[in-house]
Amino acid sequence: MRLTTLQKHLICESTAKYFGTESRVWLFGSRVNDQAKGGDIDLYIEPSIDNAADLVFAKLQFLRDLHKKIGEQKIDVVLHRPNSQTDLPVYRIAKQTGVLLE
């Protein structure tokens, strides 16, 4: 996994702050591969909040906070609402190939 211990901690801290303490976050994509170079930070988040407007606001605040803490990096966030009946392939791929950050 190509995240520093500090980056991992800050991502988890910001996830809890903006999406709720029961939220879970996975790193997926190229940053999971230690041999790869470059790449953005792809995060899959299962938030504990469900309201769409609250999630949009939380995502913007989350990204602003992370950019302040870890610097300007490309960060992609995929959110899967708790009570959503939608099951997109990206949700399964992120969880199957990703690393749960704790």
**Domain range summary for the chain, segments of one domain joined by +:** 5-101
- The domain defined by 5-101 folds into Beta Polymerase; domain 2 (3.30.460)
Query: Side chain identity at 85, as an amino acid letter?
Result: Q
- Name 28's Cβ contacts closer than 8 Å, sequence gap at least 6: 42, 43, 44, 93, 94, 95, 97, 98, 99
Q: What's the pTM?
A: 0.93
Structure confidence by residue, pLDDT tens digits, 26-68:
999 988 987 777 789 999 999 999 999 999 999 999 999 999 9
pLDDT at 82 over 90: no
What is the model's pLDDT at position 10?
97
Token couple for 66: 């992370």
What is the model's pLDDT at position 14?
97
The SS3 assignment for 36 reads coil
What is the model's pLDDT at position 85?
85
Per the CB < 8 A criterion, the answer to whether 23 and 77 are in contact is no
Mean residue pLDDT of the chain comes to 93
Instruction: Output 62 or 84, whichever has higher pLDDT.
Output: 62
User: What is the rounded CA–CA span in Å between residue 77 and residue 79?
Assistant: 6
